[in-house]
Structure 1
Amino acid sequence: MSEQATDDVEYRVVAEGVRKAFGDNEVLKGVSFTVERGTATAIIGPSGSGKTTLLRTLNALDRADAGVIRVDDVEIDFSTPTPKPEIRRFQSRSGFVFQGHNLFPHKTVLQNVIEGPVIVQKRSRDEAVAEAVVLLDQVGLAEKQDQYPFQLSGGQQQRVGIARALALKPKLVLFDEPTSALDPELVGEVLSVIKDLAVEGWTLVIVTHEIQFARQVSSQVLFTDRGVILEQGTPAEVIGDPKEERTRQFLDRILNPL
């Protein structure tokens, strides 16, 4: 582990040569990219292209087999053994929003949001509650704080998941296809919250199949295919004028369905 380099301090995330395999299936094949502070990066690509695995390596939910990843001021070379305290320190720099909400069903909305700050970060409950109330208001759920997940719509549950991630005060927020489990009429409310976070200057990395949303909210788009980043650039470059034939084929199927 090493501290943040001084020659690339504008970057919140630096990934170099990241590899990950599950058995004989090499899912990531030496992926490298950077994410600037205060920007949103969208990761798009076909199913099975490595998008979610790439996202999970940024929080060590899936530990990379090789490569170097730095998130904020913590850098880990995954080619060498890393002590658990350093992994926890690495993980503490980011918050993760899952596809399926992953809320504790037996806890209220407020209890779900304060769980991380109180149990993991050992912050005072009063402080955590005060901040949670503000966050729930930010995602439009202030009046739902005493309800349980089963009493909420899928979109509301996902917004609680976003508030829960933000409650950890992360340097980076990771979204794994945050609307994929939602009914179509609920998608907009979640995307609206994420757009607001981007405007507020949070550093975001978002795996998404919502191409128009990626075009609107991100400053960088990564197109992954078969374990590599095949194309990366601004939304205008990657979505509006892709250079690779594989990217064009993918976007044509998504944007111009039969």
Structure 2
Amino acid sequence: MTDTAEQNPEPARIRVHGLEKSFGDQKVLRGIDFESRRGTSTVLLGPSGSGKTTVLRSLNVLDTPDRGVIGIDDVEVDFATLPAGKAGRRESNRLRAQSGMVFQAHNLFPHRTVLENIVEGPVVAQGRPREEAVADARVLLDQVGLGDRGDAYPFQLSGGQQQRVGIARALALKPRVVLFDEPTSALDPELVGEVLAVIKDLATQDWTTVIVTHEIRFAEQVADHVLFLDGGVIVEQGPSAQVIGDPVEDRTRRFLKRILDPG
């Protein structure tokens, strides 16, 4: 069996500068600037509609920014000067290939086994040999605690198990960065812990991760860097001990109080 460390690509550094995005007349991002060091976890916090998920989707170019620069190591795109047509799509695809996304919903193929769900991307999208992709998938299933469920179908798994398959599927693409969009929001409360444990384990293995979550205590444990967003801007950013433990901005304090002390 391949060692897990051999599975992991070199973690990447992320650079974001001047990121702006509008949907129609609604300006969602108003100039986002941050940097994530190699092998660190960056957590995005903020109220609904603050722009967190749009930042995440911009990193993967699922949403194309109106302007701003995103760099993942040596792959950098300036969206203000992005060419039209094939040339622009080629640049966007190079950036997208650097990251893997784990969504709120599991989005597994219901008619395919767990193993087939994980193998699909590497074989079809990346053209890797099937035998190699299957071997890698089995290692990843062991890593997320599902080594004995490769032949199961999604309907035979709990929501937490399905989300862990979703994590393995993202890792199977060998991304430089792993993006998590509220990965526990669709789960029953008793299943949240098993998914957070897998993400926390990835953080200890030097993956570069960016995580959107409302799980404040989890963020406090896993984050090297926290961004608090509101109204499409970064209100406050810094180490988790500062932003969560001793925030400077009143808006950050009010948000955390509402989440941690709703009574």
Q: Same fold (TM over 0.5)?
A: yes
- How far did residue 72 of structure 1 move? 2.3
Matches within 5 A, 1:1-258: 12-82=13-83, 83-258=88-263
> Is contact 2:12-2:208 (8 Å) kept?
no
- How far did residue 237 of structure 1 move? 0.6
> Is contact 1:95-1:172 (8 Å) kept?
yes
Listed as ranges, the gaps of 5+ residues in structure 1 are 1-9
Q: Which residue identity does 2:62 align to in structure 1?
A: L
- Relative to 1, partners in 2 of residues 1:167 and 1:11: Cα closer, same or farther, differing over 3 Å? closer
* Secondary structure of 1:144's aligned partner: coil
Query: Within 2, Cα distance between the matches of 1:88 and 1:104?
Result: 23
C-alpha distance after superposition, 1:183-240 (max 9, x if no partner):
0000000000000000011000000000000000011000000000100000111001
- How far did residue 152 of structure 1 move? 0.7
Query: Within 1, Cα distance between the matches of 2:17 and 2:224?
Result: 20
Q: Which residue identity does 1:119 align to in structure 2?
A: V
Q: How many residues align?
A: 249
Give the aligned CA root-mean-square deviation in angstroms.
Answer: 1.0
Q: Which residue identity does 1:147 align to in structure 2?
A: A
> Is contact 2:177-2:209 (8 Å) kept?
yes
- How far did residue 81 of structure 1 move? 2.7
- How far did residue 38 of structure 1 move? 0.3
Query: Within 2, Cα distance between the matches of 1:146 and 1:62?
Result: 34
Query: Within 2, Cα distance between the matches of 1:24 and 1:139?
Result: 42
Query: Within 1, Cα distance between the matches of 2:151 and 2:68?
Result: 44
- How far did residue 11 of structure 1 move? 6.5
> Is contact 2:12-2:176 (8 Å) kept?
no
Q: Which residue identity does 2:67 align to in structure 1?
A: A
Q: Which residue identity does 1:156 align to in structure 2?
A: Q
> Is contact 1:18-1:31 (8 Å) kept?
yes
C-alpha distance after superposition, 1:119-167 (max 9, x if no partner):
0110000000000000001001111111111111100000000000000
Q: Which residue identity does 1:61 align to in structure 2?
A: L
> Is contact 1:14-1:71 (8 Å) kept?
yes
Query: Within 1, Cα distance between the matches of 2:156 and 2:51?
Result: 34
- How far did residue 89 of structure 1 move? 1.1
Partner of 1:7: none
Query: Identical aligned pairs, as a percentage?
Result: 66
Listed as ranges, the gaps of 5+ residues in structure 2 are 1-10
TM-score between both structures, scaled by the size of structure 1: 0.95
